Amino acid sequence: MRIIAISVYEVDLPYVDECYSWSGGNSVAVAQTTVVRIETDNDVYGVGEVCPLPGYLPAYGAGVRPGIAEIGPKLMGVDPTCIGHINRLMDVTLKGHAYVKSPIDIACWDILGKVAGLPVHALLGGRQMDRMPMYRVVNIDTPEIMVETVQRYRDQGYRHFQMKVGGDAGEDIERIRAVVGSKHTNEIVFADANTGWRRDDALRVAAATRDLYYYIEQPCELFEDCRSVAPRASQPIKLDEILQSTAAILRAHQDDCMDAASIKIGRFGGLSKARFARDLCGEMGVPVNVEDTWGSDVVTAACAHLAVSTPPELLLNTTDLNNYVTVSVADGAPVVDDGYLKIGDAPGLGVKLKEDVLGEPVAVFS
């Protein structure tokens, strides 16, 4: 089997509400996703997707296509089921830019699953559960509106809530006290600063909410600041943005400043390296949530396959990114059931692209 063509599609994904907002005054109403379709010489194809969130990480939607233009020609004639070799070729051809490589890696896993007649989760460790807990994002706002948003999602069956903070420390204390104070016994709250606090602000918030149990997520931008906050906070620390490699995971564990980890597929460069990061966390007893920065049905499927193959005692949650946007790019995506995500056992990712939504490819490499 050989790769004969890589088609690239670009689709705008409007957010379901007015805008998605987080620390530093950042917000987005529409994000650009990139969908990749890899064709082979025996009529089996695979699909992948990546959608960098604008202003979030050193990655941007418009950068995916030129990145694939560098990588794509090098992959022609290569067996897509030799995924380790595919990743080596991508890394040799283009240093860094993991997000560019993610949809290609995902598409190769889709092909491998189809050839094997197995769902991708069977290849990533096997199904570990029937359904996966999900979290829902609560945009940064007034304490009253955030509490109302939590209740709205609670009514939909969600029990995990990621509240956005990272603004003024005094206001964030009020937000946290309101939201965490309203949570039910079986619920989990993550106060996600998205790197938005200075070290002193993070310590102020942690001290002022010491009597409350919740996760502080990615309090500061620098690893050294997060490491300083961790031993002085009574709350568990979940790291996200600074975990961009397995080396970062090892460092955080060695320095004892990580109680939970966020594994974003696009940030690591696809399912292959995200699986390795997940398994490394598992060996260290660090629970993970499995997700990506943004996206639609293909990304959601990739996250679900990785999440459902994670031991349940190590999986915090995952998310249904396709329900955060108003455009669907594929059929067959995982389904939401009372705050949980369910996925089937169709070969590969189990999704079929919607050609009418994708339109014509913006680039084809053959």
Structural domains in the chain (count): 2
Residues 56 and 72 reside in one and the same domain: yes
pLDDT of residue 124: 98
Considering the chain, what is the average pLDDT of its residues? 96
Rounded distance between C-alpha atoms, residue 349 and residue 301, angstroms: 6
Residues 60 and 199 in one domain: no
Looking at residue 43, which CATH number applies to its domain? Answer: 3.30.390.10
Crossing angle of the two packed helices 169-182 and 143-155, in degrees rounded to 10: 30
- Residues in Cβ contact with 31 at an 8 Å cutoff, skipping those fewer than 6 apart: 12, 13, 15, 51, 52, 53, 54, 61, 294, 325
Query: Domain of 198?
Result: 123-352
Same domain, 242 and 308: yes
Q: For position 256, what pLDDT does the model report?
A: 97
CA pair distance 243, 100, nearest whole angstrom: 17
Q: What is the rounded CA–CA span in Å between residue 48 and residue 34?
A: 8
Do 67 and 152 have their domain in common? Answer: no
Is there a single domain that holds both residue 263 and residue 207? yes
Helix (H), strand (E), coil (C) string for 195-257: CECCHHHHHHHHHHCCCCCCEEECCECCHHHHHHHHHHCCCCEEECCCCCCHHHHHHHHHCCC
Mean pLDDT of 52-77: 92
Query: Based on the domain organization, do 300 and 321 belong to the same domain?
Result: yes
The tens digit of pLDDT for each residue in 207-227 reads 999 999 999 999 999 999 999
Tokens of residue 65, six digits? 């296509």
Q: What angle do CA 201, 202, 206 make, to 5 degrees?
A: 115
Cβ neighbours for 211, distance < 8 A, ≥ 6 positions apart:
none
**8 Å CB contact between 6 and 72:** yes
Tens digits of residue pLDDT in 250-308: 999 999 999 999 999 999 999 999 999 999 999 999 999 999 999 999 999 999 999 99
Same domain, 132 and 234: yes
* pLDDT reading at 59 higher than 90: no
> Tens digits of per-residue pLDDT, 97-128?
999 999 999 999 999 999 999 999 999 999 99
314 and 279 housed in the same domain: yes
Q: What is the pLDDT of residues 315-331, one digit of tens each?
A: 999 999 999 999 999 99
Same domain, 15 and 84: yes
- Give me the active site residues, please: 164, 264
Number of neighbours of residue 211 by Cβ within 10 angstroms: 9
If pLDDT is split at 50, 70 and 90, which confidence band does 54 have? confident
Please indicate, yes or no, whether residues 184 and 47 belong to a single structural domain of this protein.
no
Q: Are residues 130 and 276 in the same domain?
A: yes
Task: Give me the pLDDT at residue 277, please.
Answer: 98
pLDDT band with cut points at 50, 70 and 90 for residue 348: very high
Tell me, yes or no, whether 210 and 192 share the same domain: yes
